[in-house]
Structure formats: structure tokens, C-alpha cells
Amino acid sequence: MLRLRATVSEADTDQVDTGATVLSDTALAEALADVADRGLADAVERTTARRSRAWILRAVMLIIAALVLAPGLSQMAHPPLGVAWQGFGEIEFADGRLRRIGRGNVTEAAWSPDGARIVVAASSGIYALDAATLRPIGYAAARAGTRLIGLSPDGSQIATWLDDALVLRDGVDLRPVFTATSKEWLGVSAVAWDWTSETLALGGPQGVALLKPRETSRSTLFPAAAGAARLRFSPDGAWLAITTATPETLLIRTDGASMFEIGGNSHPAIASDFSGDGRSLIGVFGHGVAVADLEAGSWKTKADRSGLTTFLWVSQDGKRAVVVDGAAIADAADLLTIDLETGQVTRRLRVPRDLHVGAMAVREDGAHALIVNADGLSIWDLNTGALVAASVDFAPPPGVILPTPVRFSDDGRHLVALDAYGGLRVMDATSGRIERALNENTDPFIDAVFSPDGRQLVADNDAGVGLRRLAPGDRSRQTEPALYGFDVASGRVTHVFPGARQPQFIAPSVMAYLPVERNELRSYNFSTATNQAWASVQAARIDAFAASVGPTRVAVLTDRTLELWDPGSGLVWRSPIALSEVDRVLLGRPLAISGDARLIAVAEPSLGIRIYAGDTGALRGVLAKPITVTFEASLENPLKAAISPDGRWIATVDNRPTLANTASSIMTVWRADTLRPSETRADDRERVTGIAFSPDSRRLVTMRSNYVIELIELP
């Protein structure tokens, strides 16, 4: 049986650098970048510190002047580029999880009452972050869709909800301290938790139910509140506000179990919240912001403004509110601070908006706003418009799934993997600590290989895989497909091979690759800088190749044949096959060969996963049946195969699409001598996008579409 390592530490370091400017004034952009960089990283004493402080002071004055002169107190929230975006963490992951590169999409976020911590619910779990550094200080594994329904007034606990379960967790380390669940709670449309009375409110088609799960499972039902869309307790727990599809907002007096309506609007509230003192209810409607006195029981419009989309914050005294105006311009939204006594906008922060906006939250004092979108997570000062902190850790994965291969270095000490931006991360293969982030101004990388001495890394960006942003806000650059050679120590690009694909090192300083013409194989010697034809392979069109090193053999895949070549003597054998046009455009390497060239694996949708004998070319077995692929869900080849260097193991991945166009991912490790499975694992949520064996054939590393790397120890 295969064994997972019990616990492996995780450390996060993400760096993204680019020189592009975001603001129109270059000096202002540089000043913002410098100030943000110093705010996000620990200060380092340098001999030029005194001169730097003077420069920064002048830069800050320039920023202040620009902000003061901005019309209408409006600031454009673009993260300055050129910043080394960093997120450090020391979190233990169980079940052999070695490393998470990127944390998925954040769906909800909340500040602790003291503003020192941020809690986010992401597709990869729940995180507690230090608000100043965005460093993770707590983590809890949780399924995607977990909701945050409140932090306790003292910040010591958080309440979460998923499906039919309420879980109260420690506010820092996020361990569960109380859980209540019932099958009757499945399918609720809205949920709220009151810390004062420890009351749970559940909205559903039968009405709103109030119960105290610590004491009893019995509940009080209010049928008139059927179809609740949102529930909100007042700070003292005395009131519960219920928003439905009707224009009336319902209020339940929890102590007397009575209910009444607040009318006066022609449309239902988009969102609502209580003032800190619990005396008034503030609602956002299609026409503006309105305030209701709870005793009077009616709305009074305070700000006529169309285009408002949600409500983020209300002050303790109920005199100020922060709302989101989505009608400003097509690709941005305004965070407006409104004086509820005069109805005037007193502050405006404009933030980029896209389809990946996950969450927004405002600190309790109304000074800072947290924004999560496709660029990651960032915190902004609402008074000045300045960037306070940022992290690309929470940039969501791309909508189209691409291959995310993971590779060992030849000494087995390092791994290289791709992050959600298509950039490269070099990490320690034991601890998971990221040692270097390598990026280039190119389309997303889809593969990367180490040189045998580990000093160079060559990455393949292939063709037509779209534009990769190098940092938050960067959407401006793209280049032609090419191979990029990186010096691992410095991170510099040392070589570029335009149009080339599929790099593989065949000697300590010699790399084989497929040139743009794809009718031959070529090799490049990094020591002598010589580039020449290799292995005497000739074909009208080569789709893929894989080389063994002892003895040197080259497996070549064309649209009609699988071939094995000896670089010294020529063609060894040729086996007829037939690839479909879809096979030939999907991304990912469909060929694998054992180190001794005795086994060859082909993984193509129209063929399935086939194993061939290296000496004769005879078909030894089929490990996965052919499948039909469409481009709606992915450009990635759903079938993958890897052979251990010693030829003992074969690992296969079958990401077979379901009727709902999702993937049912099956990873299997086979004994190569019998072609019988030794271990099989299935996952109906996250597909395996990369697999690789360690050089000693004792470990198998996998990477999933949620950017989790797992390390498996082999017998």
C-alpha cells in the first residue's frame, strides 16, 4: 500500500515583479510602489537608509498632493506594480499535503473587532490572517462554499456554516469548539448567528426558525417570513432583520417573539445592516440608501443614488455607511462613504472590477477596506486611497484549466511547479518552502524542467494559452510562444528559444526540444552554445517526444505513428496509431518513457492510456479507455501518464468529464510488471493536473487544480 507523509510544513513566499506603470504619472507610481513595498516587507537596514527616508518623504508628499487635488475626493485603486508581493506562513498540513501555491478564490471575508485579524473563507479552506502583513496565522480545512456568519464581539470565536452544520471555531487557530448539525437544516436559504443569546436563525421555504442549538433542537417558526434571502441580527440580539423578494423588510423582536414589517419602498432591499447601537436599520435599495428607525417602523431615504450593488459597513452611531456603486464605469466599482444625515458622498475609492470579485469587507472603524478580485487580496486606506497591504496568494485560479505540471530536480531536493498566474515556483521538496519565484513577461507557462545540475530551469509557454498577468492590475503584455531558460540562482532569463516546445535535458548541459517547424528534434548545448539536429528523427509533423538516458532512446508521437529511435543508428520500430485533431491541440505531454526504455506510455483522449513494450513496440495493455473531449471546460489533456525512472511503477490520471461537464479525477499507481493497480484514489471536486516521480522512484508528487501539491511515498 502507498503511504502518505503524516505532516509536512508549508511556507509561503510569492514574488511577482514587473516594471509596468499603472498610474499616468510615472513618479507617482514609483512612489506608491516604494511605499507599498516597505509596508509589506520587514524593514532592512541599509547604508543608504538616511537618503532613502528623505526620498520616501518627498514621495509621500507627492502622493498627498495628488490625493488632495483629485476631484471629488476620488481615488483610483490600482495596486502599484514593481512591488515584491509576499505572503509568508508556517502552517502544518496533514495527509501528506506538501504545499499550496495560491489559496483559491475568497468568497467571504470579515475583520476582527479590533482590526488586527482578517478571516477569509476560500475555496481551499478558512484562513486567519494578520491584517498588517497578511501572513496566515491560522488555517482550517473546509469545503468550498463554507460561509462566515460572524465574529464574536471580542473576536475570540468565529461562526461558520456549510450545508446543514453550524461550526463555532477559535478566532485564531480556527479549531472547532462547538458543532451543531441536523438533516432538517439542509436547503436553508439564509442563516444568521447571534453571539449574545447564542441563537441560530434559519430561513427557508417554510419560514424563519429561531433556535438555541446549545440548549435544545426545538425552534420557534415564523411562517410569514418564508423565502428569506438575508438574515441579520442586531448587535444586542434584540432584533432580526429579514430580507425577502418583497419590498417589505421584516423585523422580529427576538425577546417577545413578535414580528412586524418596515414598508415605504417599492423594491426589496439589496442588503441591510444595523447601526452599532442597534437603534436603526440601514438598507441599500436600487434607488439609494435608506434608514429606518426601528420604533417608527418605516424607511426614510437618505441618499438618492441608482446603481448601488451592496452594503459593506455602517458606523457605530449609524451616521456613516460604506456602499458599493457598480454603475460608475464598466470595469470598475466605487466604494462610497455616505454621510447618512446629509446624504452626501464624503469619500470615494474606485477599484477594478471583474467577474472574479470574491469578497469585500470594511474594518469596524471604517478606515480600511479589504478587496478580493482576480488580482488577489488587497487592503486600502479609505481616507487616502493608499494601498496598505496586498497578496496574490488569494488570486483565483484561471477559469480555463491548464496543465500545472510539477517536476523534481535530478537530485530530488527541489520541485518546480506553476502557480495560478502561470509563473514558476521553485521549492524545497522536503519542507515545501518556496525558494524562488521565476516569472517572465510571457503567456502562462505550461511546463518546466530542471537541468541535471539544478542550475538552470527551462520553461515552455506553448501557444495560444492566453495572457498571463504578472502582478495585480497587469493586463497589457503578451509574446509569441517560446522556451525560456532561467538561471535558478539569480532568477534571470538567460536564453529564449522562439517557437520551441517540450524541453527535455538529455545530458548535463544538453537540452533536446521540438522546434517551431516540428519536423525534427534539435538539441542545444548550454556549455558550447551549439544548436543542431538531434537523433536523426525525421517526420512531417512531430506532436510529442520523450527520451530515456540509459540507453538513450527517443519515443516520437506523430498523428499516425508511435516510433522509437536510437540516436546512433536510427529508427528501431514504428507502430501505427491514429490521433484525432482534438488530441493534437490539447495541452500537456502525452508521452512517457522509462529510464531503461523498456516501457512507453501514450495518453491521448482518442486512444486512452496505452502501454507499449520498448523493445518491440507491441501493445502491452490499456490502462484507461478512450474518452470524448470538448473545449468548454478545459484546454488540458484529461489523461496523464508517468513512468518511474526504475521502471517499477506507472502512474495514470483519468480526468473523465461527467454529464455536468465537471471532472471525476482518478489517480492510479500500477505495478509495471503486471499492469495491476497498487493504489487508486478518486476525487470528484479537484482534478489532478500534474504528476511526477522522484529520481529515486520512491516518491510520487501530484498537483491538483486547486494548486495543492501532495507527496506520496512508494513501497
544-to-169, 171, 320, 533 alpha-carbon distances in Å: 51, 51, 62, 16
107-to-325, 344, 604 alpha-carbon distances in Å: 19, 30, 36
Q: What is the pLDDT of residue 265?
A: 72
Q: Which of 368, 299, 432 is nearest to 708 (CA)?
A: 432
Amino acid letter, residue 122: A
Confidence of residue 54 (pLDDT cuts 50, 70, 90): very low
Confidence of residue 521 (pLDDT cuts 50, 70, 90): very high
Rg of the Cα atoms in the chain:
29
Residue 623 has pLDDT above 80, yes or no: yes
Are 688 and 703 a contacting pair, CB within 8 Å? Answer: yes
Residue 491 backbone class (left: φ over 0; alpha: ψ -120 to 50; beta: rest): left
Calculate what percentage of the chain has a pLDDT beyond 70: 76
Question: Could you give the angle at the alpha carbon of 484 between the alpha carbons of 500 and 629, nearest 5°?
Answer: 55
Top-confidence range, 278-292, 317-331, 509-523: 509-523
Q: Which of 433, 458, 464 is nearest to 514 (CA)?
A: 458
Return the higher-pLDDT residue of 26 and 613.
613
Residue 42 has pLDDT above 70, yes or no: no
Work out the average pLDDT over 295-304.
79
Rounded CA gap, 508 and 512, in Å? 12
Work out the average pLDDT over 296-321.
83
Would you say the pTM of this structure is higher than 0.85? no
Work out the average pLDDT over 524-541.
89
Return the higher-pLDDT residue of 380 and 475.
380
Return the higher-pLDDT residue of 340 and 583.
340
Q: What is the pLDDT of residue 56?
A: 40
Work out the average pLDDT over 300-311.
81
Rounded CA gap, 229 and 656, in Å? 36
Give me the chain's average pLDDT, please.
78
Helices and strands: H and E segment counts in the chain:
3, 60
Rounded CA gap, 317 and 278, in Å? 9
Work out the average pLDDT over 203-232.
90
Pick the range with the lowest mean pLDDT from 191-195, 698-702, 711-715: 711-715
Strands 3-4 and 249-253: unpaired
Rounded CA gap, 203 and 200, in Å? 10
Task: Count Cβ neighbours within 10 Å for each residue of 183-211 and write b for 16 or more, e otherwise.
Answer: eebeebbbbbbbbeeebbbbbbeebbbbb
Are 424 and 465 a contacting pair, CB within 8 Å? Answer: no
Confidence of residue 402 (pLDDT cuts 50, 70, 90): low
Residue 94 has pLDDT above 90, yes or no: no
Return the higher-pLDDT residue of 59 and 157.
157
Calculate what percentage of the chain has a pLDDT beyond 90: 39
Cis peptide before 551 (omega within 30 of 0): yes
Q: What is the pLDDT of residue 550?
A: 78
Return the higher-pLDDT residue of 667 and 436.
667
What is the maximum alpha-carbon separation in the chain?
94
199-to-139, 179, 191, 279 alpha-carbon distances in Å: 26, 14, 11, 20
Are 96 and 667 a contacting pair, CB within 8 Å? Answer: no
Return the higher-pLDDT residue of 118 and 60.
118
Rounded CA gap, 643 and 390, in Å? 41
Residue 195 has pLDDT above 90, yes or no: yes
411-to-223, 415, 449, 490 alpha-carbon distances in Å: 67, 10, 13, 20
Q: What is the pLDDT of residue 41?
A: 27
Residue 273 has pLDDT above 80, yes or no: yes
pLDDT tens digits, one per residue of 233-246: 999 999 999 998 88
Work out the average pLDDT over 499-506.
92
Q: What is the pLDDT of residue 620?
A: 96
Confidence of residue 423 (pLDDT cuts 50, 70, 90): confident
Residue 51, SS3 per DSSP: helix
Work out the average pLDDT over 326-344.
80
Return the higher-pLDDT residue of 30 and 137.
137
Return the higher-pLDDT residue of 355 and 126.
126
Residue 447 has pLDDT above 50, yes or no: yes
Q: Which grid coordinates belong to 686?
A: 479537484
Residue 112 has pLDDT above 80, yes or no: yes
Pick the range with the lowest mean pLDDT from 66-80, 227-241, 470-484, 586-600: 66-80
Residue 506 has pLDDT above 90, yes or no: yes
Q: What is the pLDDT of residue 677?
A: 94
Top-confidence range, 10-14, 453-457, 536-540, 631-635: 453-457
Work out the average pLDDT over 602-628.
94
Work out the average pLDDT over 67-91.
31
Top-confidence range, 399-403, 453-457, 470-474: 453-457
The residues facing 594 across adjacent strands are: none
Q: Which of 216, 226, 144, 219 is nearest to 190 (CA)?
A: 226
Q: What is the pLDDT of residue 395?
A: 63
Rounded CA gap, 125 and 394, in Å? 11
Q: What is the pLDDT of residue 407?
A: 93
Sheet holding 199-204, edge to edge: 190-194, 199-204, 207-211, 219-222
Confidence of residue 509 (pLDDT cuts 50, 70, 90): very high
Q: What is the pLDDT of residue 669?
A: 95
Return the higher-pLDDT residue of 145 and 329.
145
Q: What is the pLDDT of residue 279?
A: 84
Q: What is the pLDDT of residue 442?
A: 55
Rounded CA gap, 554 and 540, in Å? 17
Are 449 and 441 a contacting pair, CB within 8 Å? Answer: no
End-to-end CA distance of the chain: 7
